[in-house]
Amino acid sequence: MLELAEHILDIAENSIRAGAKLVVISIIEDSDNDLLTIEISDDGYGMKEEEIGKVLDPFYTTKAVRRVGLGLPLLTDAARLAEGAFSLQSKAGEGTKVVATFRLSHIDRQPLGNITSTMISLIAVNSNIDFVYKHRHNAKEFIFDTRIIHKEIEDVPINHPEIIKYIRDIFKEGLKEITSEA
């Protein structure tokens, strides 16, 4: 995985496989403290204590289709390479929270990547799951919540092409607003 958006996609997909009905993705870019924080939490099945210790082993996975689970180990390494840290909290029956931090200016920090496409992919393929996306860039913040979109569109499916285009425009405008210096 070459971009942080790919890690976000992977972890959100893990949340969905774990039965989550709500996935919250938070990104905080803090230039003053030279810190980038990515937090992904869900209300899925969570993990038992013995599973938590195993998930950072690349040869452990709960997936039947392959024998390795590289997502969390790769994110852990990406954080450490950029003078950051990784933490995972989970409780069976309550959900999971993954937090990765990076030194924002570190030369080895992976770029954020195309977060709009990542979120569109998650929403379009998982129309029955709610996603909250929060992105703070210094003092500016963009928040997107599919629960609000569901109320606005009533009976139209959230993965309808016109709704996906609408969501893409919301993301493009929202991310542009928080990163502009004006």
Closest CA to 20 of 101, 116, 132, 117: 132
169: burial class by Cβ within 10 Å (0-12, 13-18, 19+)?
Answer: exposed
Distances from the Cα of 95 to the Cα of 34, 45, 53, 75, 84, angstroms: 29, 5, 16, 19, 24
Closest CA to 98 of 149, 38, 48: 38
pLDDT band, very low/low/confident/very high, at 138 (cuts 50, 70, 90): very high
Question: What proportion of the chain, given as a percentage, has pLDDT over 90?
Answer: 79
pTM of the model: 0.91
Tens digit of pLDDT for each residue in 35-92?
Answer: 999 999 999 999 887 777 766 665 555 555 444 446 788 999 999 999 999 999 999 9
| Res 67: pLDDT | 40
pLDDT band, very low/low/confident/very high, at 1 (cuts 50, 70, 90): confident
Give me the domains of the chain, ranges plus CATH numbers.
Answer: 4-179 (3.30.565.10)
Per-chain mean pLDDT for the chain: 90
DSSP state of 134: E
User: Cα(43)–Cα(177) distance, rounded to whole angstroms?
Assistant: 30
User: Cα(101)–Cα(78) distance, rounded to whole angstroms?
Assistant: 9
Tens digit of pLDDT for each residue in 9-35?
Answer: 999 999 999 999 999 999 999 999 999
